[in-house]
Amino acid sequence: MFEVVIGLEVHVQLNTKTKLFCSCPTSFNHKQNTNTCPTCLALPGALPVLNKEVLHKSIMLGTAIDATINKTSFFDRKSYFYPDSPSAYQITQLYTPIVERGALKIDFEDGSHKIIRINRAHIEADAGKNIHEGDISKVDLNRAGTPLLEIVSEPDMRSAEEVILYLKKLHAIIRYLDIGDANMQEGSFRVDVNVSIRPKGDEKLYTRVEIKNINSFRFIQRAIELEVARQTEAWEDGVYAEEICQETRLFDQVKQETRSMRGKEEAADYRYFPEPDLLKTIVTDEMMEIYSKIPELPDEKMARFVKDYGMSDYNASVVTSSLEMAHFFETMMEEGISAKNALTWLTVELQGRLKGDVNITNSPVDAKKLGHLVKRIEDNTISGKAAKEVLDKLMEENLDVDGVIDALGLKQVSDTGALEVMCDEIIAANQDKVEQYRGGKDKLFGFFVGQVMKVSKGSANPQAVNEILKAKLG
């Protein structure tokens, strides 16, 4: 029996206004090579100056993961040549990063938790982009020098499920802190997965393989499955030592395989040394006080939802998984509805109707409207079934809830006088069944309810009908 061992490196692009070491803007949809200057083009003599906003956002992240913030940190130079990196080195933090030793809690569906330790989070500069067009390759340096925060976990994850939970939690924290867009498809949240296996019970770490550039949760899951299968098979066939080596592999979604990209560089290959163009970075007590102020995080919000709304841990973790979702849910709750209904109408009914690029942030039915609709079920104005019809209508047209209920004639009859008349009619018309029911055929009760619902064309409040019939039939 084998155990899977996984550690993650996540590169988060920080959403600062300007780049890491110069004042070029960080926006990307500009003409190629226009957001550049002597510093990010690495022209001789140009010197880097650290962007304070990067320090601020890194400290926010460090605070959110209960990490140590180093009062003094340093930048290091990592040498390598790529066409999209004109300096032929990357400025990063190897020996003393800004953030060290943090932790992140993941929540399982059964209500249990696990702590994943975080080794470090360090600041580094992004490279530019190579654009390949036919025979020609072009370089766009607009992205060169954009700030990244690389968050490195300990090898604490034991399954693809844990990996996805970790990534979703980290993603949520970044969005809650508003320190990055964390958009996987656009590359502002890049995940490298380090995978190894070992016999269960063994404490030792075996050879890890790094899989790079996987841009969706689904592909990450798949890449892990494939890599674990490859390593397990090699072990079982007795060729583990020959076939599994420390290397970087690519996930090919078309061929459904991982494939060797390059052998793993050793630290020595990079000729790391302290960056001579930058001073040490000092975080003063005053800066610490300001930069470590952070908004309510997913875990705190979750605990508050559990307490205030009486939700289960898991349900609370679902609605706090993104800030947008949490806002939406809380706005619905302002209508004074039950958390259970709010959750179902948000995650099942509304999200089930959102297609393509439409999500809760640009949904045609906003939180207030959906909350109001649920309110109308809870105050017995309409049935749940009718509410679905109203929601369908609201998805198409920007109308108000009560107006649609009236226009579609969906109001439930809860007026007992009117309902009693209907019940009397049904009882009078079905005397034989009344006898049978009173004679002990309990199952017939449903028949009477059904008849009243039919006569009322579905508009009768079933709960009220139940009560009236119970009283009248004895």
Choose from ligand ADP, Zn ion, Mg ion, none: what does 205 bind? Cβ within 5-8 Å by kind. Answer: ligand ADP
320: which 2 tokens?
Answer: 């706090």
**The binder of ligand ADP chosen from 87, 194, 231, 341 (CB under 6 A):** 194
Choose the stretch contacting Mg ion; rule: CB under 5 A; options: 8-16, 131-139, 282-290, 356-364: 8-16
| Beta carbons within 8 Å of 214's beta carbon, 6+ residues apart | 191, 193, 220, 223, 251
Choose the stretch contacting ligand ADP; rule: CB under 6 A; options: 2-10, 106-114, 298-306, 454-462: 2-10
**The binder of ligand ADP chosen from 9, 53, 161, 162 (CB under 6 A):** 9
Q: Which helix (H) or strand (E) holds 195?
A: strand 189-199
Choose the stretch contacting Mg ion; rule: CB under 5 A; options: 2-10, 30-38, 418-426, 461-469: 2-10
66: which 2 tokens?
Answer: 């209960």
Choose the stretch contacting Zn ion; rule: CB under 5 A; options: 37-45, 170-178, 187-195, 288-296: 37-45
Of 178 and 243, the one with the shorter C-beta distance to ligand ADP is 243
258 binds ligand ADP (CB under 6 A): no
Tell me which residue has its CB nearest to Mg ion. Answer: 9
Of 105 and 117, the one with the shorter C-beta distance to ligand ADP is 117
22 binds Zn ion (CB under 5 A): yes
> 406's torsion region: left (phi>0), alpha (psi -120 to 50) or beta?
alpha
Shortest Å, Cβ 35 to Zn ion: 7
Shortest Å, Cβ 209 to ligand ADP: 8
* Reduced DSSP (H G I as helix, E B as strand, rest coil) percent helix, strand, coil of the chain, to 5: 40, 20, 40
Choose from Zn ion, ligand ADP, Mg ion, none: what does 177 bind? Cβ within 5-8 Å by kind. Answer: none
372 — phi, psi (to 5°)? Answer: -65, -40
C-alpha torsion 259→261→267→270, nearest 10: -170
| 59, 68 Cβ separation under 8 angstroms | no
Cα–chain center distance at 245: 33
* Maximal CA-CA distance, the chain: 102
Cα–chain center distance at 256: 25
| Beta carbons within 8 Å of 355's beta carbon, 6+ residues apart | none
**The binder of Zn ion chosen from 3, 37, 162, 364 (CB under 5 A):** 37
What is the rounded CA–CA span in Å between residue 126 and residue 79? 14
Choose from ligand ADP, Zn ion, Mg ion, none: what does 154 bind? Cβ within 5-8 Å by kind. Answer: ligand ADP
User: Which residues contact ligand ADP (rule: CB under 6 A)?
Assistant: 5-9, 152-155, 194-196, 205-206, 208, 210
User: Which residues contact Mg ion (rule: CB under 5 A)?
Assistant: 9
